[in-house]
Amino acid sequence: MIEIPMPRLSDSMEEGTILRWLAEEGASVTRGQELAEIETDKASMVYEADEAGVLHTLAAEGDTLPVGAPIAQLLGDGEQPAGAGRPGASEAAGSARPVPTNGARQPAEPAVPARSAPPQGAALGAGNGLPPGAGGPPPAATAGEAPQRSEQAPQPSGDRVKASPLARRLAADANLELSALAGTGPGGRIVKADVERAATGEAAGGGAEGAALAQGAAAAGGAVADVPRASTPMAKGASQVHELTRTQSLIARRMAEAKATIPEFTLRCDVDMEAAVEMRASLKRLAERGERERAPSVNDLIVRACGLALREHPRANGTYRDGAFELHERVNVGVAVASADALLVPVVRDADRLSVWEIATEARRLAAAVRDGTITPPELSGATFSVSNLGMYGIDSFTAVINPPQAAILAVGSLAQRPVVRDGRLAVAHTISLTLACDHRILYGADAAEFLGAVRESLQDPLRLLT
């Protein structure tokens, strides 16, 4: 028997979600066969079998598990599965605590004395955090009481309940049993909104139906939380709750970490781009005549200028980790690309060694992969510096958030004709604004100024970028 753990598919991956199994339970798989599609913190990838055997899955589609946790087994001839199957399957059906996504068990809750148990058919009170009917058998309908109805049946507790990590945490905080909730997410997955409705009593129904249940519980002597009326107008109007994807969650965590822990300072300069614009026009004519595949963009010129400057100023090419900084041999520039619902940073590797034509080809390929959803985690890893360009949106200048543990990030504004002073006279020229955000633990003001000055000099004398 060979155990298959949750693989580490990127350098920052801590947990993964099984989106779907590509091989059926009990099927014979061969080495290299596609087993599962796994969502990581950066992208979705297909995981292939390292060995041959009969597949026995331990994790269900939608399960989120930490790196290293078992997700399946490959069995040899005559072998039987080891363990009790899917995570959480061995838990008692009546357990009031969900199984955490990291596999650790929650401490058992103290037993409730028999004398404190409510009569059968009574809704549990707000003191235990459970919605009416969630902690025991459904109440029997009596004369004058509205029968209890359910739009969706609660999920069975025999298998691990499908729920998002946020929903699991909220349910644990509210002492709610996930198996008693009906999920409204994809594939019946329990999401944040389902837990919030249950915690506020909305799972029992609104209006007359909820009031009937509340009255029945009060008659049985149980304390009941106020049931909100479905028709109560909200000050903000109707609201929709959108859970963060794994990619968005990673971005949120890393950006919060950056603003909370990095002592940041910024430098800004304007660059006269007139010579660069003229050179790019010449390169476009070469591309139109078929001598080159395509002309590099202004952003390609900036990436090339950063690559040359990073080679000359290695501090800007460093990263800060655990009270020390590392200076890297390779110059890998990450280029921020907006996707449908997130911001990803694919990496142009060896930007100091590639020609401006090669940078243009690679940057276009990576941007297309991001927008098509085919980008892979290796293409999003290993950056030593980042460039973020919002000039195409008409933004004159801005300050980007440093992507830890990198030392700096360059924010690029719009290229436009602006008034400049030349030889004491007012003129009009194409200019661009560059803003460098720096980690003061690695870069000091003079180091950062020299680096930014080197980028500006290369752009103002663009023939350097063609060498």
Distance between CA atoms of 125 and 264, rounded to whole angstroms? 50
Could you tell me how far CA 77 lies from the centroid of its own chain? 40
CA atoms within 13 A on the CB side of 240: 2
Beta bridge partners of 334: 347, 386
E-strand ranges in 283-383 read 318-321, 324-327, 333-335, 337-338, 343-344, 347-348
Amino acid at position 353, single letter: R
CB 70 within 8 A of CB 1: no
Distance between CA atoms of 161 and 150, rounded to whole angstroms? 18
Contacts of 101 (CB under 8 A, 6+ apart): 15, 63, 64, 65, 66, 165, 168
Distance between CA atoms of 212 and 11, rounded to whole angstroms? 54
Residue 328 annotated as catalytic: no
**Total length of the chain:** 467
Distance between CA atoms of 240 and 202, rounded to whole angstroms? 16
Q: Where are the alpha helices (DSSP H) in 320-444?
A: 356-372
Distance between CA atoms of 17 and 38, rounded to whole angstroms? 6
- Name the catalytic one among 242, 313, 430, 440: 440
Distance between CA atoms of 179 and 153, rounded to whole angstroms? 10
Tokens (6 digits) for 403: 């992507």
CB 30 within 8 A of CB 47: no
Distance between CA atoms of 294 and 427, rounded to whole angstroms? 31
CB 350 within 8 A of CB 311: no
Listing DSSP states for 131-200 in one string gives PTTSSSSPPPP-TTSPPP--SSPPPPSSSPPPB-HHHHHHHHHTT--GGGSPP-SGGG-B-HHHHHHHHT
CB 292 within 8 A of CB 453: no
Sign of torsion over alpha carbons 228, 231, 235, 238? positive
Burial of 127 (0-12, 13-18, 19+ CB in 10 A): exposed
CB 133 within 8 A of CB 204: yes
Distance between CA atoms of 451 and 446, rounded to whole angstroms? 9
Amino acid at position 345, single letter: V
Active site residues: 440
